[in-house]
Amino acid sequence: MLLMLREVTKAFGSLQVLDRLTLSVNEREAVGVIGPNGAGKTTALNVMAGRLRPDRGAVVFDGRDITAMSAHARCRAGIALTHQIPHPFEAMTVFENVLVGATYGAGRSERDAYAACFSALEASGLDGKSNARAGALTLLERKRLELARALATGPRVLLLDEIAGGLSEPEVQALVRVVAQIRDQGIAVVWIEHIVHVLVQVVERLVALDAGRVIADGDPSDVMRDAAVVDAYLGGAVA
């Protein structure tokens, strides 16, 4: 087990978002996380990344309790997070954006940072856009930039929050190929996505959440047929 939420509870005021949630990912494993709106998916990812502190429970990474560790320290330890809506430094070039991840995110030396940037840009399909201004990128290119910045930190696990959102089907398939290549490099992936047919092209395991709890966990085809998952999405079985 590489990364785990163990009996994690999180509330915002009177709203209970995570309810004793236990969710794990193994080394080199690709896990998809699905669930209806309000299921707690993004909150779970933010707790993993250190952007939110759980009210109760623990976050464990590589056998170590990191519940009190900051998001910055977790990034340097090997946990990288991408965002649903990309927010690049628009006045900077693509390369400069990725360099921020390699230097400030990972704390690399200048020589190592440059090498990491070139590798991340190639892996994300942006090597031909290194000198372009980030503010001039298309939405797909901005999503690729999110991936490149995360990869430049040298992650052991990559957390993806609905990275396919807002893209056309051909653009989604282009992004799927990139994520599949990242998985094939041995980087563990935890991917939240509403577009389930996208997830099942990449992940080997699917976890379904509802009301902050796991309601199904296993082979993607089995999870999608699970009665509790059908009920959570559709309010009951379809005749």
* pLDDT higher than threshold 50 for residue 238: no
The percent of residues in the chain predicted with pLDDT above 70, rounded, is: 97
Indicate if the pLDDT at residue 237 is higher than 50: no
Regarding beta strands 157-161 and 188-192, do their DSSP bridges make them parallel or antiparallel, or are they unpaired?
parallel
Integer Cα distance of 41 and 38 in angstroms: 8
Mean pLDDT, rounded, for 177-181: 96
CA nearest to 192, candidates 27, 16, 47, 11: 47
Whether 28 has a pLDDT exceeding 60, the answer reads yes
Mean pLDDT on 153-157: 97
Percent of the chain with pLDDT strictly greater than 90: 92
**pLDDT at residue number 233:** 79
Compute the distance between CA of residue 220 and CA of residue 205 in angstroms, rounded to an integer. Answer: 6
| Cα–Cα nearest to 125, from 168, 182, 170, 185 | 182
Give the position of tokens 């990128």.
137
Q: For residue 194, is pLDDT > 90?
A: no
The pLDDT assigned to 16 comes to 97
Q: What is the pLDDT of residue 188?
A: 98
Mean confidence (pLDDT) of the chain: 95
Render pLDDT for 210-235 as a digit per residue (tens, 0 to 9).
999 999 999 999 999 999 999 987 66
Residue 176 corresponds to which tokens in the numbers above? 């799927």
**Mean pLDDT of the region 56-71:** 98
CATH code: domain 27-52+70-234 is 3.40.50.300
| pLDDT tens profile 66-115 | 999 999 999 999 999 998 899 999 999 999 999 999 999 999 998 999 99
pLDDT at 198 over 50: yes
CA distances from 44 to 96, 101, 134, 152, 216 (A): 30, 23, 29, 23, 16
